[in-house]
Chain A
Amino acid sequence: AQTVTQSQPEMSVQEAETVTLSCTYDTSESNYYLFWYKQPPSRQMILVIRQEAYKQQNATENRFSVNFQKAAKSFSLKISDSQLGDTAMYFCAPPLANAGGTSYGKLTFGQGTILTVHP
């Protein structure tokens, strides 16, 4: 069975500081995208950043960046200059592949990390 592990159930950070959320996963797919989504309290899931697995360069989106280690199947999210609006639950989402090794776009989500940014 494919697994996604987010080993930090909760994290907290002071405003303007940097925080890193970890994620390890297991997939049989060979060419895929990985995503980090955030879900603010009582609000809908929104995309934070995506990484194309065939690219060696780590993705960056403003204050958000990833450290993608394909061989290790590790996909961590770094948030720089944390803001109060970053408070949310963060989900790592690699593909959910069938037995044949293709996800057809289905995602599998980790348990999530609740991030609280304090003023």
Chain B
Amino acid sequence: DTGVSQNPRHKITKRGQNVTFRCDPISEHNRLYWYRQTLGQGPEFLTYFQNEAQLEKSRLLSDRFSAERPKGSFSTLEIQRTEQGDSAMYLCASSLVPIYEQFFGPGTRLTVL
């Protein structure tokens, strides 16, 4: 399978715990995006990378959130001291050229109890 993969697919955690998600983009894609989607809504942009460089972070991304893409391949999104409001689907997408279509992964569904 050469699509975008995300792990884990589901994560249940208690409030205050830290969680980390992983995204593996399509191998030749140099652009990687993170979005957050709550139930019944469209995805909202969080941050994106060009190779290993994080070029922009949305205001939605508080200081508790950090993302990395250390070698320009896979990316991780960490949430520290989780809150119930962090419960959502976290989507990763990649593209070869910025203005071309993004290919999405299956998402990681986070539930904070």
| Interface residue ranges, A against B (CB under 8 Å) | 4, 32-33, 35, 37, 43-47, 50, 91, 93, 95-96, 98, 103-112
How many residues on the B side are at the interface (Cβ–Cβ under 8 A)? 26
- A112 to B99, alpha carbons, bound, how many Å? 21
The total of Cβ contacts below 8 Å across the A-B interface reads 63
Closest CB-CB distance, B64 to chain A, in whole Å?
21
Closest CB-CB distance, A84 to chain B, in whole Å?
22
- A93 to B100, alpha carbons, bound, how many Å? 12
Chain B 83-113 interface 0/1 with A at a Cβ cutoff of 8 Å (1 = within): 0000000010101011111111111000000
Chain A residues closer than 8 Å to B55, beta-carbon distance: 104
- A95 to B102, alpha carbons, bound, how many Å? 12
- A109 to B55, alpha carbons, bound, how many Å? 20
Q: Which residue of A lies closest to B43 (CB)?
A: A109
Which of A37, A47, A107, A109: most chain B Cβ within 10 A?
A107
- Knowing A45-B43, A45-B91, A96-B45, say if A107 contacts B107 (CB, 8 Å): no
- Besides the contacts A98-B56, A103-B99, what 6 more A-B pairs have beta carbons closer than 8 Å? A35-B102, A45-B43, A93-B42, A103-B98, A105-B98, A110-B42
Closest CB-CB distance, A8 to chain B, in whole Å?
14
Chain B residues closer than 8 Å to A107, beta-carbon distance: 33, 43, 45, 102
- A64 to B103, alpha carbons, bound, how many Å? 19
A105 touches which one: B31, B42, B43, B104 (CB < 8 A)? Answer: B31
Chain A residues closer than 8 Å to B45, beta-carbon distance: 96, 106-108
- A44 to B35, alpha carbons, bound, how many Å? 13
- Knowing A104-B56, A111-B41, A112-B42, say if A47 contacts B33 (CB, 8 Å): no
- A44 to B44, alpha carbons, bound, how many Å? 15
